[in-house]
Structure 1
Amino acid sequence: MIRNDAEYKRVLQQIEEGRAHFHAQRASFQEQGVPAEAADIALQATESFLLGLEEDAAAYLNAKNGHLAPLDDLKHIGRWLVHARIARGLSQKELAERLGVSEAQVSRDERNEYAKVGVDRAQAILDALGVSLRIVEERPVLIPGAEGAAYTIPFEPHGVSVAGSEVDSELYRIAGNFRAKKNLSPEKSRQIAHALNHLLNSLSDDDVPATRQE
């Protein structure tokens, strides 16, 4: 997980070097006449590692731009709290001062992604950040132009934007699904999210089809 700009720069360097090595290895396999399917299997671990780095980089950049993804699972609240600090534009030192603890304590907690954080501790961090966490009921609705495909979207938008224009964070998750299936770049995934947001905002209430009933 990326926690600051220095780590972000190092990860970008890792991605650049890793991609260069990945393509060089694939080219080497081709020169040796290795079947494409066998090459894919041999490079699968490297590809998964690089995709993980790219996901981390995209998540950090989104948080840096003030966007918080929805918290779908309380087991991941630690990672979400780190992104909340980043979205608020606070350093670990500034959060430590607000919490009345040492910077080393915050650094250690974030490095461990607030492992086994309790309710009181999590609430104290939210209060220090000035961030509210709410649970919303969800229902399946139809997205126009998706040929009847149903996606789960909350009754009310729950995208969080601390700075800049808000894009419903549910759209980032949908775009992420496209990215995973089509092996798109993080930037392309973000463009898809903004395009979906623009499409939905351009529709009138009368354009949205009725909710599918179970």
Structure 2
Amino acid sequence: MIKNETAYQKAIGKLKQDKEFIAKEKLRFKEMGLNDEQIDMAIEPLLSFHEQLKEEVEYYERIKRGSFNPILKFTDIGKSLIAYRIYMNMTQSELARKLEVSETQVSRDERNEYYGATTEKIEAVMSAMGMKATINIEVAPGLGA
């Protein structure tokens, strides 16, 4: 997951490099005498990594615009907290200062997408970013009384 502007710019550069590299590899494989099906099989892993990075870039661009996915599972809260921090143009360092913890701690929490964080920690992070939560719990269809 891209978590800051520097990583975003690097990812954009990497996407351009990947495109050029994939095109060169296609040409190289063609010159080796491989047919289209063999070329597609050979470059499939490159395309897969390229598409994954492209999705990460698109996600970062969406959250910078304020377009967030709904939180459907508690395990999604961490990713959403990171997304909101990015949207608010708050650095990990700024968040750390507000939480009165080290930047290393915030970095570690975000790297793990707050997995295993206590509710108190989640609430502290939300408070530091001026957020509040509204929880809506529903019974899944077919599971109710």
Per the normalisation by structure 2, the TM-score is: 0.82
In the alignment, does 2:43 pair up with 1:28? Answer: no
Mapped to 2, the partners of 1:63 and 1:134 lie a distance apart of 20
| Residue of structure 2 in register with 1:48 after alignment | 48
Q: Percent identity?
A: 33
What stretches of structure 1 of length at least 5 have no aligned partner? 139-214
Aligned position for 1:128: 128
More strand per residue: 1 or 2?
A: 1
Aligned-partner residue type, residue 55 of structure 1? E
Q: Please say if residues 82 and 113 of structure 1, whose CA atoms lie closer than 8 Å, have aligned partners that are also in contact.
A: yes
Flag the structure with higher helix content.
2
Question: What code does the residue aligned with 1:46 have?
Answer: L
Q: Deviations over 1:61-92 (max 9, x none)?
A: 22222222222333232222111101122111
| 8 A Cα contact 2:75 2:115, kept in partner | no
Residue in 1 that maps onto 2:69:
69
- Residue-by-residue CA offset, 1:110-162 (whole Å, 9 max, x unaligned): 12222322222222212221234445589xxxxxxxxxxxxxxxxxxxxxxxx
Normalised by the length of structure 1, the TM-score is 0.58
The aligned counterpart of 1:81 is: 81
RMSD: 2.1
Contact 1:85/1:129 (CA < 8 Å) preserved in 2?
Answer: yes
Greater shift in the superposed pair: 129-138 or 106-115: 129-138
Q: Which runs of 5+ in 2 are unaligned?
A: 139-145
User: Residue 13 of structure 1: SS of its match in structure 2?
Assistant: helix
Stretches of 4+ moved more than 3 A in 1? Answer: 132-138
Matching residue's letter, 1:29? F
SS in 1 for 2:113: coil
- Whichever residue aligns with residue 41 of structure 1, its letter is M
